Amino acid sequence: MENAPEPIYSDTSIVVVQKPSGWLAIPDRYDPNAPVVLNALEKEFGRLFVVHRLDKDTSGLLVYARTAEAHRTLSEQFASRSVEKRYLAIVRGVPEEDEWVCDKPLLADADRFHHTVIDAKKGKPAFSRFVVRERYRDYSLVEVLPETGRTHQIRVHAAATGYPILADPLYGDGKPLLLSHLKRGWKGDVFEEKPLMGRTALHAEWIRFIHPGSGQTEEFSAPLPKDFSATVSQLRKLAHQNPVSS
């Protein structure tokens, strides 16, 4: 787990924070011992209103409202799908196509493990666009542009289209990425090796919305956390040594 969440912008209406992996956006009855971004921020900013969420493993941008009016305005933007968001994911597999979409309807909390499942009859509309940013050997860096914000949407849609997110324990194989698995002739202690990526490889990179106070368009971006950037760097290096065939 990384350091505490880092506020990157605040004013009288909103707080924008970079959430580390391992932190919950709000308290969760299923994981009562995990650190919570909302609790940490309220010590500094006072009462905050939850506008949207990120999964515990997901790193990146979160926006909280500081007033009831700001919360109402932002919530309306999310509900009307006028908020633009971009995520980065490392997926297993190397897509031939440069872009694809998934619009399968989703039903959350479908079983005792709280999975989200594809359900054509009971599911809510969901739409995700995927764009390949880089291809490696056996993996790819993918940009995800979700138009809806269903629970676990990106993770379910990625898996449904044949490219599960690396190390996703619910919708992928959950296996961490180890350098020893990538690099031929790796010499090291297998008992002391730490994963390059040991959590769901998903990062909320960018967001754009209308500021609830000024009415101006605002956008924010969050750099990749260390585990994500180190994994991408290593995959690039190995892909350069062993190019992906076209």
Residue 55 catalytic?
yes
Say if strands 59-65 and 202-210 run parallel, antiparallel, or are unpaired. Answer: parallel
From the candidates 11, 28, 55, 111, give the one annotated as an active-site residue: 55
SS3 per-residue string spanning the chain: CCCCCEEEEECCCEEEEEECCCCECCCCCCCCCCCEHHHHHHHHHCCCEECCCCCCCCEEEEEEECCHHHHHHHHHHHHCCCCEEEEEEEEECCCCCCEEEECCCEECCCCCCCCCEECCCCCECCCEEEEEEEECCCEEEEEEEECCCCCCHHHHHHHHCCCCECCCCCCCCCCCECHHHHCCCCCCCCCCCCCCECCCCEEEEEEEEECCCCCCEEEEECCCCHHHHHHHHHHHHHHHHCCCCC
Give the integer Cα–Cα distance in Å for 86 and 220. 11
Decide: 60 and 204 in contact? Cβ < 8 Å: yes
Residues annotated as part of the active site: 55
